[in-house]
Structure formats: structure tokens, C-alpha cells
């Protein structure tokens, strides 16, 4: 596998019940993972509008990770399923904007899955690394 | 004007060991709106809190960012502190630089850089945030206890004794749960039923307890103080009010079918009681098996058989909910090599337990299911489904070592001279008097404890050939046994999985319900006002289940004792002037918390339909906001603007790095 670019930045939009707590548990359990993620907490992955992803990429993030509770575990019954449908549809449109679909990713991480959080972060970084730094919105490219 | 104070915590060495906290404070001083920034050894200590208080006063700070541990730990502490000092409760943001930085990253430069970015984002969010006002709700002084096992019974009795009204909902026709199936309890060898039935009867007779058996909670919405439940009382086809529990109907019923309560060891009738001490002592007709012969109706002295009875729906409002839906045993058929389900004399521990019960299916005799004879040699295999990631679950089920020791002792007592072999991985006897009990069992019974697993069981010539290893001597072992008992681990009950869906409770990887904090909030859940007790949370023995039932009741009382409570204001709000009335949010809301109302447009003076949030139902998930095309609906505290400013701050961090100015002061 190609060496990962250390400068990549991933905006991770996490639901506060599962994925944020899972990331916290990684800390409590001292599970080490790459530094490149910056976490934004939201109540539910269903609250995540595609605008958030676009905004993050526009501001220079190389990738966006949206993570919520496992299907069937949503604190608000079905917000995560909405998020999945929405992001699935949205990803089919990103190409028209010149955004590689690899830059937007979804995962399920529960509050007890510290190790999974680590592997999700690493997977997302590897995938984003394949498409490289995000220069779509840099001056001259807009 | 913005006057933000940034307080960076060392947390001893927990943060400062991996993050240069002084650099973080220095960098924060340059962020827009920040007037003051500093560090302290322990921000949560009285000294740290004193520092924040002093600086709020000295610099007239209006907003605070604390860079410390996860907001799940001390957000309340610092928000409460701000409120005490005259600021809005929500004018504090936590930058999580411990759980999500110092504890997970080793590179000090990068960790410091990330910490600075996180503080920048928190500063941006707090500067954008508007003051919010908490909502107040009335508390309904009634508790819902779901599950009538020992944990639920304990919780209900504690609450009822304290003077609170309780509704207990049990899905089976009788309360008692798994404990009602047991013969004796370890390590005291108390008769399980003898200590349980008084509590069951108390539950039935308590003036503050409403008992709904053979009932299930189908829907639950609302919030702490006011949960609205829809409970279905399934039909028994018997009038519960009139029935005197004489059992005449059971005697005459001609149908015979498998008894689930007795683990399939005997047959039961189509109209039946699970066990003689059932509470309530009212039989149930199994409609799938009933042939409608009418024999029971003929003999019933009170004429209480009702073939046309329908399910009843109860709607109740509760202030708190306690979930005690329990566990069940692991399904042994995953272990094909043990032959469970194929070899009749390989049985589960619960079947063995039922055999030991004096009033049980075999009148207390241990008998081989194949030929009804008393076995001369019995092999117990522990950790079936537990501590085995390949076929079962990685966790220890906590009770199997002890109940197997009890089984060995009781088998020796019921049938002295039986050859007993126990295959184990470790013997875990952690409780009070547990280790002593296991020692006593080993000394008194002469049972041979073999450390190792069983690889295969063959059924040949009426004998069970058990092949295994003894890892202490390093030898292969073959035991010719008459019966094999599998010490099943525990798994969450199906009803536990079901109730988790109804109440939106979070589960762990294996389906056990999650507590709010494994150490400090063991019976609370992420939903305020919903508590968990007993084995729905994870394997527990009876003392632990009882303790957690009492704990849940006491935590519930701390809510029920209030006449009103303050709720988080982070719910949705509609800008009705902007709302186009498309009904997207109305259709998307999973809680039915949006209604369409008439609104008079101030410009056109015309009436149009717009969305409105029903505050008591809104949980603040924000699904509505993400489907609004305008957007006119948003969640306080997590508005699109709130998220945008955070993302912008994130972008600033990226651009700063790109410009070659490393935030830790080094040139790139």
C-alpha cells in the first residue's frame, strides 16, 4: 500500500451517542490511531446534511467521515438509516461537482467499539490517501 | 462583545504528557474573541474551578472553553460553574483533548497541533452559540418496571415501599423469571423458590403495584418525567378477575405439548400453569395447541374460561422506566461436536437444574432423557458459549462455574456415588463465600475437576464417549459417561433485544444493554429516566441482580421525588416566517413531534400552513433540520450555523499549516 500522506485532514462528524462515545472509549482504552481526524459532534448522524460534507471539503478537509450508531441501534430510532440513504444518494452526485466519492465516507461505530473506531479511521485515511490531497476548492481551481 | 476565556487542563500527566498544554494556551490567546487563556494542573479540582471563577470575575468573561477530558465527564461540572457565576449554562464548550488526543496519539508535535485545532473549533462554536433556556417538565409519579424476574421484582418492591406507584409488565403468564426455574442457589443452598415466592406474592399484593402479566410494552415515547407507554395485555382466554387458580381445567385438558418452562423435559397441557406457585395463579390457554373441546369450560367452577377474549391495550404515563428483561442460556447447537439436540443424554444446565427441583418434571431425580435411568457417571463441560470467540462469545458468563459446582454437590446429594467429571478452563469463584463453596464441593463429592476442553462426544452402545484434554498433566482423557451437562453461558434474552428497539436503548456488540458509565453510572442509560437492572445489562448472579434492581429503584426515586425537572433545551425550532410548509420535516420526524399549523404571514397577511415543534415530544435529533430545503427548522445548540463555524475553524487550522507556520512554533 502506498505510504499515507501525513498531512491529510479528515473531518469526522460523529453522533454523540455511539460514534463519539466509541472514539472516547478508544481514548480510555489507549487505542492509538492516526492524528489526522478532527471530530465534530452532532446529536445524530441523521442530522448531518450533505451541506456539512460540502462545507468541510470546501474548507480544505481532504475527507469527510460520517459515523453513527449501527442499524437498529439509533438513539432516535432511524436517524442513521436516513443518513445512510442520504449519503448514498449524495455520493452519486458528488462526481458532477468534481469531488471524488472516496472523500465522503460513512461508518457505524458503537459506543463499545474502540478498536473499530481505530480501524475505521485507518481505512478512511487509506481510501482518501488514494485520491490524495483535496485541491478542488483551492484558489484557481474553483 | 465576545470575552472568551480558554482554560487548558494538564490533567496531571494525562494530557500534559502528550500535549504541550502551555503551547495550546498560547495559541488559543490569538483566536478571535479570546481575551484570556491559561492552564491548570486539574481544571476540575476546586483550585481549577476557583481559577475559572476568579477569571470570569476579573476579566468579565462571557464565554468559556475548557480544554480537558471528554464532555461526557465534566461538561456538566463546568457549565454548572459558569451558571453559578452568572453566565448562561450553555456558554461553555469542552475541547476534548484527553480521550481524543493525548490518550490516543504518541507524537507530541502532532498531538499538540491537533489539540490546538480542537480548541480553535471549540472557541468558534462557543462564540457563535446563543444563550439557551432550560425547559421545565412535570414529573408523573409512577414507574414502569419491564420484566418480572428477581431484578424487576426487587426494583418494583423498593419503589412501592417508598410510596411510589409502580406498573410491572411481564411478558410471561407469571412473574418470577429465571430464578423460578432454579432448585437451590449457590453458595448458601437456599431453596430458590422458597426465597423468591414471598417476594412474588408481595409484588402481587402490594397496594402500590399494578401487575400486568402476559403483557408487553409495544411503544414508548416522551421523555423523563413523562413517558407514554402502550402496553398490550395478551389474552389468556381466562378471566383473571374471577379465576381462583384451582387447576381443575388443567387436569381435564386432553392436549399434551412441550413445556418450555420445564425445558422440554415433560409435557404440559394446552391450558396450564408454568409452575404451582405461579403469580398470578391464573392459567393460560395456549391457543395454538388448544383443540377447543370445551372440557375446561365445563369443569371450571367459576365459569371463567373466555374463548372469545381479546387482547387489551393499556395506555399509561410514567415518570421513569426500569428495564429488567433479563437473559437466556446460550444455544448449544452451535457446538456440533457435543451433539446437543442429536444425542438425547447431552443436556443443558437449565434442563439439569429442572431435574434437581423436587416438584419439577422428574421429582428431583436426575434421569437420562433417553431411557429414564439414573446415570452412573456424569460429565460437566464448562464455558459452553462463553470465553470462546470461535463458536460463542468472548465474555465470561460469571455464573456457570458456580452453578456447576452447585450441580455437582446436588447430584452427589441426590444420587450418592455418582462418578462426576468437570471439564473447566478456570474456576472463577469471585463472590462472598464462593471460593469456599467450590472447595467444599471438591472435597465432599470427590468430583474430578479436569482443566481442559472437550473435543468430541460420541454416542456408542448406550455410553457417551467424551474425549478431552487434561492440560495440567498434558494427557488426553477419555471418559465413558451416561450423561453430559453443558454449562451454558448467558446471552441477552430475545425480549431484551426487542425492548432495546422499542425504547431506543444502546446495546453492546453482544446485545447487552449499555449503561451510561461502566463504573459510575451502572444502572443509568443514555436516555435520562430509563434505568436497567439485572441481567439485561450483562451476566449477573442473583445477589448482583438484586443489588442492581435496588440501585435502579433508588436512582429512579431521585427523579420521582421531584415535582418538576429541567430538560435540555437542545430541541428543534421552526422559523415560521421562512417555512414553506413542504411537510418534509413533518414526515421525517421519527417521534411525531411536528405538527402543521396555520400561520399569518406578516408581509402578505395571508394564512398559510407551516410546521411547528411539539416541544414535549422533540428529542433534538435534528433529522428534521437535515431534510428542510429552506432551511427553516434547526436544533438549538447543534444548528447548521453552529456546525458551519466549527468546520470553518477546522479549515483555518488546515490553511495555517499549509502556509508553513506550524502551530507548535516550529518551521515546517
Domain count, chain B: 5
Is residue B459 helix, strand or coil?
Answer: strand
Its ipTM equals 0.95
pLDDT of B658 reads 57
pLDDT exceeds cutoff 70 at B660 = no
Task: Please tell me whether residues B350 and B456 are part of one structural domain.
Answer: yes
Cβ partners under 8 Å of residue B398, min gap 6: B428, B430, B490, B539, B540, B541
Give B448's Cβ-side CA count (13 Å radius).
15
Q: Do B72 and A24 lie within an 8 Å CB cutoff?
A: yes
Tell me the pairing of strands B463-470 and B475-481. antiparallel
What are φ and ψ of residue A141, in 5° steps?
Answer: -105, -10
Q: Between these two residues, A134 and B662, which has the higher pLDDT value?
A: A134
Nearest to B638 among A33, A39, A42 (CB): A42
Among B567, B587, B616, residue at a domain's last position? B567
Task: Please tell me whether residues B334 and B317 are part of one structural domain.
Answer: no
Task: Please tell me whether residues B201 and B319 are part of one structural domain.
Answer: yes
Number of H helices and number of E strands within chain B?
16, 34
User: Using CA atoms, how far apart are residues B557 and B141, in angstroms rounded to an integer?
Assistant: 9
The secondary structure of residue B630, as a DSSP letter, is S
What CATH number does residue B595 fall under?
Answer: 3.30.70.3270
Q: Do A73 and B111 lie within an 8 Å CB cutoff?
A: no
Taking CA–CA distances from A113, the nearest residue in chain B reads B509
- Contacts with B107 from chain A: Cβ below 8 Å: 35
The shortest C-alpha distance from A55 to chain B (Å) reads 7
Give B341's Cβ-side CA count (13 Å radius).
7
The shortest C-alpha distance from A131 to chain B (Å) reads 18
The shortest C-alpha distance from A126 to chain B (Å) reads 18
The shortest C-alpha distance from A1 to chain B (Å) reads 22
- Contacts with B514 from chain A: Cβ below 8 Å: 111-112
Nearest to B104 among A33, A43, A60 (CB): A33
Whether the bond between B187 and the residue before it is cis, its omega within 30 degrees of 0, is yes
pLDDT tens digits for A25-79?
999 999 999 999 999 999 999 999 999 999 999 999 999 999 999 987 888 878 9
B118 close contact with A: CB closer than 8 A: yes
Q: Which three cell numbers stand for residue B459?
A: 454416542
Domain count, chain A: 1
* A86-100, B34-48, B420-434, B523-537, range with the lowest pLDDT: A86-100
The shortest C-alpha distance from B604 to chain A (Å) reads 31
Domain interval for residue A114: 10-131
pLDDT tens digits for B273-322?
999 999 999 999 999 999 999 999 999 999 999 999 999 999 999 999 99
Task: Please tell me whether residues B421 and B509 are part of one structural domain.
Answer: no
pLDDT exceeds cutoff 90 at B663 = no
CA nearest A43: which of B128, B67, B573, B571? Answer: B571
pLDDT of B526 reads 83
pLDDT exceeds cutoff 60 at B523 = yes
**CA B330 to chain CA mean position, Å:** 18
Q: Do A40 and B514 lie within an 8 Å CB cutoff?
A: no
pLDDT exceeds cutoff 70 at A86 = yes
pLDDT tens digits for B457-502?
999 988 999 999 999 999 999 999 999 999 999 999 999 999 998 9
pLDDT of B221 reads 86
Query: Is residue B668 situated within a structural domain?
Result: no
Mean pLDDT for A78-107 is 90
pLDDT of B668 reads 32
pLDDT exceeds cutoff 50 at B125 = yes
Residue B532 in contact with residue B584, Cβ under 8 Å? no
Q: Do B105 and A35 lie within an 8 Å CB cutoff?
A: yes
The shortest C-alpha distance from B116 to chain A (Å) reads 11
The shortest C-alpha distance from B216 to chain A (Å) reads 19
Cβ partners under 8 Å of residue B596, min gap 6: B581, B583, B586, B609, B610, B611, B612
Domain interval for residue B502: 135-176+187-234+311-326+495-567
User: Using CA atoms, how far apart are residues B5 and B527, in angstroms rounded to an integer?
Assistant: 32
User: Using CA atoms, how far apart are residues B338 and B345, in angstroms rounded to an integer?
Assistant: 11
Taking CA–CA distances from B510, the nearest residue in chain A reads A112
Mean pLDDT for B122-136 is 91
Residue B409 in contact with residue B500, Cβ under 8 Å? no
What CATH number does residue B86 fall under?
Answer: 3.40.50
Query: Is residue B666 situated within a structural domain?
Result: no
B117 close contact with A: CB closer than 8 A: yes
Q: Do A82 and B588 lie within an 8 Å CB cutoff?
A: yes
Query: Is residue B518 situated within a structural domain?
Result: yes
The shortest C-alpha distance from B105 to chain A (Å) reads 6
Nearest to A38 among B117, B526, B658 (CB): B117
pLDDT exceeds cutoff 50 at B445 = yes
Interface with A, mutate which of B70, B104, B514, B641 (most A CBs under 10 A):
B104
What CATH number does residue B409 fall under?
Answer: 3.50.50.60
What mean pLDDT value characterizes chain B? Answer: 94
Nearest to B121 among A38, A49, A75 (CB): A38
- Residue A141 pLDDT class (50, 70, 90 cuts): low
Taking CA–CA distances from A13, the nearest residue in chain B reads B643
Query: Is residue B306 situated within a structural domain?
Result: yes
User: Using CA atoms, how far apart are residues A113 and B94, in angstroms rounded to an integer?
Assistant: 23
Nearest to A77 among B117, B590, B622 (CB): B590
Mean pLDDT for B114-122 is 96
pLDDT tens digits for B545-571?
999 999 999 999 999 999 999 888 999
Q: Which three cell numbers stand for residue B237?
A: 382466554
- Contacts with A30 from chain B: Cβ below 8 Å: 103-104
Q: Do B650 and A11 lie within an 8 Å CB cutoff?
A: yes
pLDDT of A140 reads 53
What CATH number does residue A86 fall under?
Answer: 3.40.50
Query: Is residue A113 situated within a structural domain?
Result: yes
Query: Is residue A3 situated within a structural domain?
Result: no
Task: Please tell me whether residues B472 and B350 are part of one structural domain.
Answer: yes
Number of H helices and number of E strands within chain A?
4, 4
Query: Is residue B458 situated within a structural domain?
Result: yes
pLDDT exceeds cutoff 90 at B591 = no
- Contacts with A46 from chain B: Cβ below 8 Å: 621-623, 626
**CA B492 to chain CA mean position, Å:** 10
Among B431, B463, B491, residue at a domain's last position? B491
Nearest to B590 among A38, A72, A76 (CB): A76
For B324-376, strand residue ranges (E) read: 327-329, 346-348
Q: Do B70 and A49 lie within an 8 Å CB cutoff?
A: no
For B72-197, strand residue ranges (E) read: 92-96, 135-138, 142-146, 165-169, 184-185, 190-191
pLDDT of B665 reads 34
Residue A51 in contact with residue B640, Cβ under 8 Å? yes
CA nearest B14: which of B34, B36, B44? Answer: B44
Q: Do A59 and B640 lie within an 8 Å CB cutoff?
A: no
Q: Do A69 and B506 lie within an 8 Å CB cutoff?
A: yes
Nearest to A38 among B118, B500, B622 (CB): B118
Task: Please tell me whether residues B298 and B444 are part of one structural domain.
Answer: no
DSSP-derived secondary structure for A35-97: TTEEEEEES-GGG--HHHHHHHHHTT-SEEEEEEPPTT--TTSSHHHHHHHHHHHHHHHHGGG
Mean pLDDT for A89-105 is 90
B77 close contact with A: CB closer than 8 A: no
Q: How much of chain B exceeds pLDDT 70, in percent?
A: 98
The shortest C-alpha distance from B637 to chain A (Å) reads 9
- Say what the alpha-carbon torsion angle A47, A51, A57, A60 is, to the nearest 10 degrees: -90
Query: Is residue A142 situated within a structural domain?
Result: no
Query: Is residue B663 situated within a structural domain?
Result: no
- Contacts with A11 from chain B: Cβ below 8 Å: 647, 650
Q: Do B96 and A26 lie within an 8 Å CB cutoff?
A: no
pLDDT tens digits for B321-379?
999 999 999 999 999 999 999 999 999 999 999 999 998 999 999 999 999 999 999 99
**CA B111 to chain CA mean position, Å:** 35
Q: Do A112 and B655 lie within an 8 Å CB cutoff?
A: no
Query: Is residue A138 situated within a structural domain?
Result: no
pLDDT of B664 reads 36
Interface with B, mutate which of A10, A18, A55, A66 (most B CBs under 10 A):
A55
- Contacts with B638 from chain A: Cβ below 8 Å: 42-43, 47
> Which residue in this structure is represented by grid cell 487563556?
B37
What mean pLDDT value characterizes chain A? Answer: 90
- Contacts with B625 from chain A: Cβ below 8 Å: 47, 49
Mean pLDDT for B506-530 is 89
User: Using CA atoms, how far apart are residues A65 and A23, in angstroms rounded to an integer?
Assistant: 13
Among B310, B337, B362, residue at a domain's last position? B310
pLDDT exceeds cutoff 60 at B266 = yes
pLDDT exceeds cutoff 80 at B667 = no
Task: Please tell me whether residues B89 and B121 are part of one structural domain.
Answer: yes
Task: Please tell me whether residues B215 and B339 are part of one structural domain.
Answer: no
Helix ranges restricted to H, B129-262: 150-161, 192-205, 248-252
Going B518 to B224 to B126 to A49, the CA torsion angle's sign is: positive
Range 526-585 of B in CB contact (< 8 A) with A: 526-527, 570
The shortest C-alpha distance from B448 to chain A (Å) reads 39
Tell me the pairing of strands B346-348 and B483-488. parallel
Interface size between A and B, measured as CB pairs under 8 A: 154
> What is the rounded end-to-end Cα distance, in angstroms, of chain B?
35
Query: Is residue A75 situated within a structural domain?
Result: yes
Taking CA–CA distances from A108, the nearest residue in chain B reads B509
Taking CA–CA distances from A38, the nearest residue in chain B reads B118
Query: Is residue B92 situated within a structural domain?
Result: yes
pLDDT of B230 reads 97
What CATH number does residue B273 fall under?
Answer: 3.30.70.20
User: Using CA atoms, how far apart are residues B268 and B260, in angstroms rounded to an integer?
Assistant: 9
Amino acid at each position: 500500500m502506498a505510504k499515507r500522506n501525513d498531512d491529510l485532514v479528515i473531518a469526522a462528524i460523529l453522533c454523540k451517542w455511539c460514534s463519539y462515545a466509541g472514539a472516547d472509549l478508544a481514548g480510555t482504552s489507549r487505542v492509538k490511531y492516526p492524528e489526522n481526524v478532527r471530530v465534530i459532534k452532532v446529536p445524530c448522524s441523521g442530522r448531518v446534511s450533505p451541506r456539512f460534507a460540502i462545507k468541510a471539503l470546501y474548507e480544505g478537509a481532504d475527507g469527510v467521515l460520517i459515523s453513527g450508531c449501527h442499524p437498529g441501534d439509533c438513539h432516535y430510532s432511524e436517524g442513521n438509516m436516513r443518513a445512510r440513504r442520504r449519503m448514498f444518494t449524495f455520493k452519486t452526485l458528488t462526481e458532477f461537482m468534481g469531488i471524488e466519492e472516496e472523500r465522503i465516507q460513512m461508518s457505524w461505530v458503537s459506543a463499545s467499539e474502540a478498536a473499530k473506531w481505530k480501524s475505521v479511521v485507518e481505512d478512511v485515511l487509506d481510501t482518501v490517501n488514494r485520491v490524495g490531497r483535496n485541491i478542488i476548492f483551492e484558489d484557481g481551481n474553483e | 462583545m465576545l470575552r472568551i476565556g480558554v482554560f487548558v487542563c494538564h490533567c496531571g500527566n494525562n494530557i500534559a504528557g502528550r500535549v504541550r498544554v502551555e503551547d495550546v494556551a498560547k495559541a488559543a490567546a490569538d483566536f478571535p474573541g479570546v481575551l484570556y487563556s491559561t492552564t491548570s494542573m486539574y481544571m476540575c479540582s476546586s483550585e481549577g474551578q476557583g481559577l475559572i471563577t476568579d477569571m470570569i470575575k476579573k476579566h468579565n468573561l462571557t464565554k468559556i472553553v475548557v480544554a480537558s477530558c471528554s464532555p461526557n465527564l465534566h461538561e456538566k461540572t463546568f457549565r454548572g460553574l459558569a451558571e453559578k457565576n452568572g453566565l448562561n449554562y450553555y456558554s461553555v464548550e469542552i475541547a476534548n483533548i484527553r480521550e481524543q488526543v493525548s490518550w490516543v496519539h504518541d507524537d507530541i508535535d502532532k498531538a499538540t497541533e491537533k489539540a490546538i485545532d480542537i480548541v480553535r473549533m471549540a472557541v468558534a462554536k462557543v462564540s457563535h452559540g446563543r444563550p439557551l433556556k432550560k425547559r421545565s417538565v412535570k414529573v408523573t409519579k409512577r414507574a414502569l418496571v419491564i420484566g418480572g424476574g428477581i431484578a424487576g421484582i426487587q426494583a418494583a418492591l423498593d419503589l412501592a415501599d417508598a410510596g411510589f406507584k409502580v406498573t410491572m409488565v411481564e411478558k410471561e403468564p407469571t412473574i418470577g423469571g429465571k430464578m423460578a426455574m432454579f432448585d437451590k442457589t449457590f453458595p448458601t443452598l437456599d431453596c430458590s423458590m422458597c426465597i423468591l415466592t414471598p417476594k412474588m406474592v408481595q409484588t402481587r399484593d402490594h397496594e402500590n403495584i399494578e401487575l400486568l402479566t402476559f403483557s408487553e410494552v409495544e411503544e414508548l415515547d416522551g421523555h423523563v418525567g413523562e413517558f407514554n407507554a402502550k402496553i398490550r395485555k395478551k389474552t389468556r382466554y381466562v378471566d383473571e378477575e374471577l379465576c381462583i387458580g384451582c387447576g381443575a381445567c388443567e387436569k381435564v385438558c386432553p392436549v399434551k405439548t412441550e413445556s418450555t418452562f420445564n425445558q422440554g423435559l415433560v409435557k404440559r397441557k394446552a391450558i396450564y400453569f408454568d409452575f404451582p406457585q405461579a403469580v398470578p395463579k391464573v392459567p393460560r390457554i395456549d391457543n395454538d395447541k388448544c383443540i377447543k373441546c370445551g372440557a375446561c369450560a365445563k369443569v371450571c367452577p367459576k365459569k371463567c374460561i373466555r374463548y372469545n377474549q381479546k387482547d387489551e391495550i393499556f395506555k399509561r404515563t410514567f415518570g421513569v422506566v426500569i428495564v429488567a428483561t433479563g437473559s437466556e442460556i446460550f444455544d448449544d447447537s452451535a457446538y456440533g461436536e457435543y451433539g446437543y439436540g442429536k444425542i438425547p443424554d447431552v443436556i443443558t444446565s437449565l434442563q439439569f437444574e429442572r431435574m434437581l427441583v423436587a416438584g419439577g418434571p422428574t421429582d428431583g431425580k436426575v434421569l437420562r432423557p433417553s431411557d429414564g435411568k439414573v446415570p452412573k457417571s456424569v460429565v460437566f463441560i464448562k464455558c459452553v458459549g462463553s470465553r470462546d470467540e470461535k463458536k460463542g462469545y468472548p465474555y465470561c458468563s460469571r455464573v456457570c462455574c458456580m452453578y456447576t459446582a452447585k450441580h455437582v454437590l446436588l447430584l452427589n446429594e441426590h444420587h450418592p456415588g455418582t462418578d462426576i467429571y468437570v471439564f473447566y478452563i478456570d474456576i472463577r469463584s469471585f463472590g462472598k463465600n464462593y471460593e469456599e463453596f467450590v472447595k467444599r464441593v471438591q472435597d465432599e463429592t470427590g468430583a474430578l475437576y479436569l482443566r481442559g476442553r472437550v473435543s468430541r462426544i460420541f454416542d456408542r452402545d448406550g455410553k457417551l464417549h467424551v474425549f478431552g484434554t487434561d492440560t495440567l498433566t498434558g494427557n488426553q482423557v477419555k471418559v465413558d459417561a451416561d450423561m453430559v451437562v453443558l454449562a451454558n453461558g448467558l446471552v441477552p434474552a430475545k425480549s431484551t433485544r426487542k425492548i432495546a428497539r422499542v425504547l431506543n436503548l444502546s446495546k453492546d456488540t453482544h446485545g447487552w444493554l449499555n449503561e451510561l458509565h461502566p463504573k459510575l453510572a451502572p444502572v443509568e442509560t443514555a436516555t435520562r429516566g430509563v434505568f436497567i437492572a439485572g441481567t439485561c445489562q450483562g451476566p449477573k448472579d442473583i445477589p448482583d441482580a438484586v443489588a442492581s434492581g435496588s440501585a435502579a429503584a433508588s436512582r429512579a426515586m431521585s427523579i420521582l421525588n421531584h415535582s418538576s425537572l429541567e430538560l435540555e433545551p437542545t430541541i428543534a425550532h421552526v422559523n415560521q416566517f421562512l417555512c414553506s410548509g413542504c411537510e418534509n420535516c413533518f414526515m421525517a420526524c421519527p417521534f411525531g413531534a411536528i405538527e402543521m399549523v396555520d400561520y399569518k404571514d406578516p408581509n402578505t397577511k395571508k394564512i398559510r400552513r407551516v410546521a411547528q415543534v411539539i416541544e414535549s415530544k422533540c428529542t433534538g435529533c435534528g433529522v428534521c433540520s437535515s431534510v428542510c430545503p429552506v432551511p427553516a427548522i434547526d436544533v438549538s445548540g447543534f444548528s447548521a450555523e453552529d456546525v458551519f463555524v466549527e468546520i470553518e475553524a477546522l479549515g483555518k487550522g488546515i490553511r495555517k499549516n499549509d502556509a508553513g507556520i506550524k502551530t507548535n512554533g516550529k518551521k515546517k
